[in-house]
Amino acid sequence: MNSFIYDIPVKVYFGENQLQHLGKELSKFGKRVLLTYGGGSIKKTGLYDTVMSEIEKNGLEVFELSGIEPNPRIESVRKGVRICKDEKIDVLLAVGGGSTLDATKFMAAGACVEHDPWEFLSENWAPIEKALPVITVLTLAATGSEMDAGGVISNPETQDKIGRLAPPMLPKVSFLDPTLTYTVSPYQTACGAADMMSHIMEVYFNMEQDLYMLDCFMEGMMRTIIKYAPIAMREPKNYEARANLMWTSSWAINGFVNGGKRQAWSCHPMEHELSAIYDITHGLGLAILTPRWMEYCLDESTVSKYVQFGVNVFGIDERQEPMVIARQSIEKLSEFLFGTLGLKRTFTEVGIRAEDFPVMARKACGNGVLPGFKPLAQEDIERIFEMCQ
């Protein structure tokens, strides 16, 4: 077992009515606030008015950037950086889902440098040493961006979608009010559930010597998603379901479950290439890929992890042969993703074409090998894509 550092310094206000503390928290960082949001859901739900009233009550000056797109684009980041610099912004307030939060983190970092923010993500990989403070109000449980230091940005010109983690971009404070997710559609709820499942599975499927406690924690979170996602889809205002999903989204990816594991992720780099070209919803892409990736990686050397997963997460009878349990566990996961959550099952159904497989596979492994659960070279990734057709 490898040694590790536990350091997740995000202050979280969890629960209903916690937004009453928003003004006080913003004020700690200055007077000039950049409010960022997406395509308008926060106006429809009334959240915009609540946030504005909290800001104004505390005598803060607010500037706005709206229209941050799902799979957020570098152009939105550039707009935000310009406002931060021109208006001498003290603190950024991101209100929305992962896309708004991610774009805002890069605005905060971009405001502290002279160069174009794409330099952080292009092959130049410019250092991220500083960022303006970011506060988030989460409206969709999925990415965990509210409690991690990462973000993923698309560049339509180069057909790239690239993620990066940098500690200065970690939100200072995040407001997690499950009632703000009552208006999330069943489809986005399903995609969010698939995304969280994947965040956990990317860490859980690992043959390194494990911390048993962390495996149990991950199994508990996966069971939580399996239990509550369908309830939230059926009963959007079920507080218990929304609250369980929201807190799971944060803990699935805030770094806690990693322990000292060093293994890279597999399905996320593959999915980012799908979204880069086809602009599909992240969780949907992951749902299609994950069971096929599991199938591809299953062999005598990995079967024990599938058995643990199948027995502890799906309650499969452990008295059967390991390979039988492993196959059942893949079937159970597929049933959950495509049956219970109702997500589309194949690339064909979402319009992803085979002619793009080679380029997407090459970019997913960075022209080398993706060093995940099973190392995957370009030809392995192309095979997985073929299995998704």
**Interacting residues with ligand NZQ (CB under 6 A):** 38-42, 45, 70-71, 96-100, 102, 139-140, 142-145, 148, 150-152, 180-181, 183-184, 188, 192, 195, 253, 268, 282
Judged by beta carbon, residue 120 or residue 307, the one nearer ligand NZQ is: 120
Please give the residues from 30 up to 89 whose contact with Zn ion meets the rule CB under 5 A: none
With binding defined as CB under 5 A, does residue 202 bind Zn ion?
no
Report, in Å, the least distance between residue 181 CB and ligand NZQ.
5
Q: What is the 3-state secondary structure (H, E, C) of the chain?
A: CCCCCCCCCCEEEECCCHHHHHHHHHHCCCCEEEEECCCCHHHHCCHHHHHHHHHHHCCCEEEEECCCCCCCEHHHHHHHHHHHHHCCCCEEEEEECHHHHHHHHHHHHHCCCCCCHHHHCCCCCCCCCCCCCEEEEECCCCCCHHHCCEEEEEECCCCEEEEEECHHHCCCEEEECHHHHCCCCHHHHHHHHHHHHHHHHHHHCCCCCCCHHHHHHHHHHHHHHHHHHHHHHHCCCCHHHHHHHHHHHHHHHCCHHHCCCCCCCCHHHHHHHHHHHHCCCHHHHHHHHHHHHHHHHCCCCCHHHHHHHHHHHHCCCCCCCHHHHHHHHHHHHHHHHHHHCCCCCCHHHHCCCHHHHHHHHHHHCCCCEEECCCEEEHHHHHHHHHHCC
> Among ligand NZQ, Zn ion, none, what does residue 183 contact (CB within 5–8 Å per kind)?
ligand NZQ
Q: Please choose, from the candidates 52, 114, 103, the residue with its C-alpha nearest in 3D space to the C-alpha of residue 80.
A: 103
Which does residue 218 bind out of ligand NZQ, Zn ion, none, counting CB within 5 to 8 angstroms by kind? none
- Please count the residues of this chain forming the interface with Zn ion, following the rule CB under 5 A: 1
* 195 is a site residue for Zn ion (CB under 5 A): yes
User: What is the smallest separation between the CB atom of 118 and ligand NZQ, expressed in angstroms?
Assistant: 16
Q: Which does 70 bind (CB under 5 to 8 A by kind): ligand NZQ, Zn ion, none?
A: ligand NZQ
Residue closest to Zn ion (Cβ): 195
Closest to ligand NZQ by CB, 152 or 203 = 152
- In the bound state with Zn ion, the residue whose beta carbon lies nearer, of 65 and 276, is 276
User: Which one of the spans 52-60, 133-141, 194-202, 342-350 is the region binding Zn ion (CB under 5 A)?
Assistant: 194-202
Least distance to ligand NZQ, CB of residue 39, Å: 3
CB of residue 274 vs ligand NZQ: minimum separation in angstroms?
10
The residue (of 24 and 43) whose beta carbon lies closer to ligand NZQ is: 43
Residues 6+ apart with CB under 8 A from 251: 144, 147, 221, 257
Q: Which residue has the tokens 């069943």?
A: 186
Residue number, 253 or 294, with CB nearest to ligand NZQ: 253
Work out how close the CB of 17 gets to Zn ion at its nearest, in angstroms, rounded to a whole number: 29
Q: CB 202 → ligand NZQ: shortest distance, Å?
A: 9
Single out the segment in contact with Zn ion by CB under 5 A; choices: 41-49, 190-198, 335-343, 347-355.
190-198
Six-digit token string for 24:
């006080």
Least distance from Zn ion to the Cβ atom of residue 293, Å: 14
- Both tokens of residue 219? 């199994």
C-beta of 68 vs 132, nearer to Zn ion:
68
Which residue's CB is nearer to ligand NZQ, number 184 or number 226?
184
**Residues 364, 273 contacting (CB under 8 angstroms):** yes
State the binding partner of 97 from ligand NZQ, Zn ion, none, CB within 5 to 8 A by kind.
ligand NZQ
Taking the least distance from each CB to ligand NZQ, the nearer of 141 and 316 is 141
Interatomic CA distance for residues 172 and 12, integer angstroms: 9
CB of 296 to ligand NZQ, least distance (A): 20
In whole angstroms, the minimum distance from the beta carbon of 237 to ligand NZQ comes to 12
CA–CA separation, 27 and 236 (whole Å):
33
Q: Which is nearer to Zn ion, 274 or 311 (CB)?
A: 274
Note the residues at the interface with Zn ion (CB under 5 A): 195
